[in-house]
Structure formats: structure tokens, C-alpha cells
């Protein structure tokens, strides 16, 4: 695997874990509150979101970079 692909894959896995853990924590807390089964509900939400979100980051991050570069007039 080429180094830039390896970098992008690892970036997507780490960014997915960080962003999705925070977002699912907040949304689970807002929707259900801190009940006795909060961690179980949060974990379920995290797994579903991670499976969907990480590939989304992998495929859409380059698109977002190109759009941002175009809007700012710089090469990403």
C-alpha cells in the first residue's frame, strides 16, 4: 500500500473515532439523558456511526479539501 493511501486510511480511522465518539456521546446524552444504560446506548450508537462515518470520511475528505482549496484559491 502506498504511503499516502496508508496515511489517509489511518487518518480516517482516527478522525472517525474522535469525531464520532464525541458526537454520539452528546446526541445520546441529549436524547436519552444519563440513565443507567447510557454506556450501552452510547456504545451501540458509536458502532453504527463508526461503520458509516469512517468510510464517509475516507471518501469525502479529499472532496472537501478540493472544495475548500477552490473556495480559498489555494492548492490543497
pLDDT tens digit sequence for 27-75 = 999 999 999 999 999 999 999 999 999 999 999 999 999 999 999 999 8
Closest listed residue to residue 12, CA positions, set 76, 69, 64, 70? 64
Question: pLDDT grade, residue 9 (50/70/90)?
Answer: very high
What pLDDT does residue 58 have?
95
pLDDT score of 15: 95
Is residue 15 within 8 A of residue 8, CB to CB? The reply is: no
Q: Do 69 and 76 meet the contact criterion of CB atoms below 8 Å apart?
A: yes
Q: Is the distance from CB of 48 to CB of 21 less than 8 angstroms?
A: no
Please tell me the distance from the alpha carbon of residue 34 to that of residue 63, in angstroms, as a whole number: 37
Amino acid at each position: 500500500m502506498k504511503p499516502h493511501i496508508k496515511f489517509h486510511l489511518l487518518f480516517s480511522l482516527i478522525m472517525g473515532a474522535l469525531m464520532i465518539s464525541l458526537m454520539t456521546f452528546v446526541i445520546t446524552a441529549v436524547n436519552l439523558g444519563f440513565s443507567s444504560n447510557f454506556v450501552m446506548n452510547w456504545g451501540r450508537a458509536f458502532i453504527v456511526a463508526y461503520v458509516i462515518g469512517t468510510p464517509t470520511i475516507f471518501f469525502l475528505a479529499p472532496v472537501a479539501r478540493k472544495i475548500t482549496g477552490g473556495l480559498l484559491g489555494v492548492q490543497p
